[in-house]
């Protein structure tokens, strides 16, 4: 097959595996290395220390797979309406863990490419790879002011998979930046994490604080968290490039059952939690962070009906544990009681955008 025929055959196979977006970059594509290093030097990666390591591979894709010639980028649409719940879980986390099923599909594509004489290395957000700048070079979209990859057709909702290959495939034209004068994402961010366009301050970002951050929820961001239990979709939701985006068709992303009220989850054991969320991104969060976040959400949106479960949790939790669930429960109790004492002040609304 010619390189064009190989690329087309791969595009067809990728579509058959559920990927809606496909593109190829050369392994020598420019990746804004200086920008990344400045971001790290400014400490805006918060406690994500792994982002400071392996930069000789992260910033030089040619070191990721010796003799690699091309990088295939694949995108899978994750947009879906939020379930009717009084709290929010990020769209990508409602169903199965995408790392698992996307990786399996990449491996199948790699096996096919092997029959064409290529050596491959796949990854899904699990290796030091600059996925979004590479996707931009492969024409899948541009890295917007919200730092997400924005695609003309699918908006800000593509989950990315990457295959490094020794096959020489014709590269696509890089996508140009189409943010223009828009600032909707920064304007909508409840914590000011996008104060500098194109630069996310993870220390202020609710997607980081609710998921990756392991300690206490910083008091200064608890109210801003609103009803966000896991992740934050706000700066993706508001992007005007979503207007042509369809909802996800991927069965594995379909929402798994979640408790209708967070108070029902406050008495779960770690075993119950793990069994309930096996195979989903919520499993990696673990019960302690779930309880921490649930207290924050209930503090913002809860009512007197939630007080008995919160009081029980406060009494049962080890005050020396990290995160300190007892103190988060006490915070929630105090917030709910303060609202009850001032009935003219409504509880924070459980709006679809999490605010
Ligand atoms: S994910 Fe949420 S908190 Fe983080 S930058 Fe986007 S809007 Fe702000
Ligand atoms: S909301 Fe506007 S500024 Fe932000 S990524 Fe989308 S187009 Fe760019």
Q: Which atom of ligand 2 is nearest to the CA of 194?
A: 4
Residues 19, 12: Cα–Cα separation, whole Å: 10
For residue 347, give both structure tokens: 């509880």
Establish whether residue 189 lines the binding site of ligand 2, counting it when its CB lies within 6 angstroms of any ligand atom. no
Q: Which atom of ligand 2 is nearest to the CA of 148?
A: 5
Residues 339, 347: Cα–Cα separation, whole Å: 7
**Measured in angstroms, how far is the CA atom of residue 139 from the centroid of ligand 2?**
17
Do the beta carbons of residue 138 and residue 25 sit within 8 Å? yes
Q: Which residue's CA is the closest to the ligand 2 atom numbered 6?
A: 239
Establish whether residue 188 lines the binding site of ligand 2, counting it when its CB lies within 6 angstroms of any ligand atom. no
**Measured in angstroms, how far is the CA atom of residue 309 from the centroid of ligand 2?**
41
The tens-digit pLDDT sequence of the chain (355 residues) is: 999 999 999 999 999 999 999 999 999 876 677 776 776 677 777 777 767 767 666 666 777 788 999 999 999 999 999 999 999 999 999 999 999 999 999 999 999 999 999 999 999 987 778 899 999 999 999 999 999 999 999 999 999 999 999 999 999 999 999 999 999 999 999 999 999 999 999 999 999 999 999 999 999 999 999 999 999 999 999 999 998 899 999 999 999 999 999 999 999 999 999 999 999 999 999 999 999 999 999 999 999 999 999 999 999 877 777 788 999 999 999 999 999 898 665 555 554 444 4
Q: Is 85 left (phi over 0), alpha (psi -120 to 50) or beta?
A: beta
**Measured in angstroms, how far is the CA atom of residue 353 from the centroid of ligand 2?**
16
Q: Which residue's CA is the closest to the ligand 2 atom numbered 7?
A: 179
| pTM across the whole model | 0.89
Separation of CA 266 from chain center: 25
Ligand 1 — pocket residues by CB below 6 A? 146, 189, 191, 193-194, 200, 205-207, 232, 234-235
Phi and psi at 5, nearest 5°, equal: -65, -40
Q: Which atom of ligand 1 is nearest to the CA of 236?
A: 6
Residues 159, 70: Cα–Cα separation, whole Å: 20
Q: Which residue's CA is the closest to the ligand 2 atom numbered 4?
A: 185
Place of tokens 């020794």: 166
Query: Which residues are part of the catalytic machinery?
Result: 125
**Domains of the chain: residue spans and CATH:** 3-165 (3.40.109), 198-237+259-341 (no CATH)
Establish whether residue 164 lines the binding site of ligand 2, counting it when its CB lies within 6 angstroms of any ligand atom. no
């Amino acid at each position: 097959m010619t390189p064009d025929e190989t690329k087309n055959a791969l595009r067809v196979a990728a579509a058959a595996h559920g990927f809606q977006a496909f593109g190829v970059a050369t392994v020598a594509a420019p990746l804004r290395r200086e920008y990344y290093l400045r971001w790290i030097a400014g400490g805006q990666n918060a406690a994500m220390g792994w982002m400071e390591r392996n930069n000789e591979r992260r910033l030089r894709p040619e070191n990721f797979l010796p003799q690699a010639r091309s990088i295939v980028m694949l995108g899978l649409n994750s947009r879906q309406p939020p379930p009717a719940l009084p709290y929010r879980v990020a769209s990508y986390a409602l169903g199965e863990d995408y790392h698992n099923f996307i990786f399996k599909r990449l491996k199948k594509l790699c096996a096919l490419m092997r029959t064409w004489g290529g050596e491959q290395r796949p990854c899904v957000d699990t290796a030091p790879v600059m996925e979004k700048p590479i996707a931009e070079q492969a024409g899948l979209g541009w890295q917007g002011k919200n730092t997400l990859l924005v695609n003309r057709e699918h908006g800000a909702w593509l989950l990315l998979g990457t295959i490094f290959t020794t096959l020489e495939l014709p590269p696509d034209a890089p996508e140009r930046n189409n943010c223009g004068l828009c600032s909707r994402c920064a304007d909508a961010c409840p914590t000011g994490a996008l104060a500098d366009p194109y630069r996310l301050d993870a220390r202020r970002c609710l997607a980081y604080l609710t998921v990756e951050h392991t300690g206490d929820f910083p008091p200064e961001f608890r109210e801003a968290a609103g009803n966000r239990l896991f992740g934050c979709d706000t700066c993706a939701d508001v992007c005007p490039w979503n207007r042509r985006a369809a909802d996800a068709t991927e069965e594995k992303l379909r929402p798994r059952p979640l408790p209708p009220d967070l108070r029902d989850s406050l008495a779960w054991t770690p075993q119950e939690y793990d069994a309930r969320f096996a195979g989903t991104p919520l499993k990696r969060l673990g019960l302690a962070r779930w309880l921490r976040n649930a207290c924050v959400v209930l503090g913002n949106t809860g009512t007197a009906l939630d007080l008995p479960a919160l009081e029980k949790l406060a009494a049962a939790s080890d005050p020396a544990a990290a995160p300190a669930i007892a103190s988060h429960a006490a915070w929630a109790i105090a917030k709910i009681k303060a609202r009850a004492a001032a009935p003219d002040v409504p509880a924070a609304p459980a709006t679809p955008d999490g605010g």
